[in-house]
Amino acid sequence: MTQPIIDPKQTLQQILTIVNYQGDKQAFIAKYLALCEQNTLLALLENLSEEERTALEQKLDAAATPEEKKNVLREQFSEEDIAESSYNETKKSFGEMMQKLLPTLDKNQKEELKQYFESSAKALQDKLQLSNE
């Protein structure tokens, strides 16, 4: 499996630390990523016709093991579809999260968050440039 260029768990952990999140950070991260996965599959399912959904359910019924079920899903949805749904759903979700979060931050937290995003964006660009060389 290819590793992500940026680790989403680490990113969330950093954001939660900056905003002084008082709860269980790991639990929050796990719930949030599970939500993103669920929303991704929901978006994919919503794009199927009734007939396609029925056919997919029948295939899943016939698949006995998790591995077989996984293969059924991969046959149904292309990597492009999955990636696009994942991107769109996470983008929407995270945007809404930030919309609620930002007004509660003090000046220092906003500044720190801004710096984190800037440095992360730069780090990402550097990594991409290195990979291209």
Partner 1 sequence: MCMTAVETHSTPESATPSGALDGELTHQIGASERKKGPFGSFWRKVGASALASLGLNVAGNEIIRSQETITTIRTPDISSATVTLHEGVLANVGEGLAIAGSLGLFATGVAAIYGLFRDRRLRREGKKN
What part of residues 71-110 is at the interface with partner 1 (CB under 8 A)? 72-74, 77, 79-80, 82-84, 86-87, 90-105, 107, 109-110
How many residues contact partner 1, by CB under 8 A?
82
CA distances from 75 to 27, 41, 56, 129 (A): 32, 14, 10, 34
Of 4, 47, 55, 75, which one interacts with partner 1 (CB under 8 A)?
4
Nearer to partner 1, 2 or 49 (CB): 2
Site for partner 1 in 20-39 (CB under 8 A): 20-23, 28, 31-33, 35-39
First and final CA of the chain: distance in angstroms? 23
DSSP 48-81: S-HHHHHHHHHHHHH--SHHHHHHHHHHHS-HHH
CB of 52 to partner 1, least distance (A): 12
In this chain, which of 41, 47, 49, 55 binds partner 1, going by CB under 8 A? 41
User: Does 53 help bind partner 1 (rule: CB under 8 A)?
Assistant: yes
Dihedral of the alpha carbons of 66, 74, 40, 50, in degrees to the nearest 10: -100
Which of 49, 52, 55, 70 touches partner 1 by CB under 8 A? 70
Answer whether 31's CB lies under 8 Å from 37's CB: no
Candidate list 16, 26, 51, 55; residue touching partner 1; CB under 8 A: 16
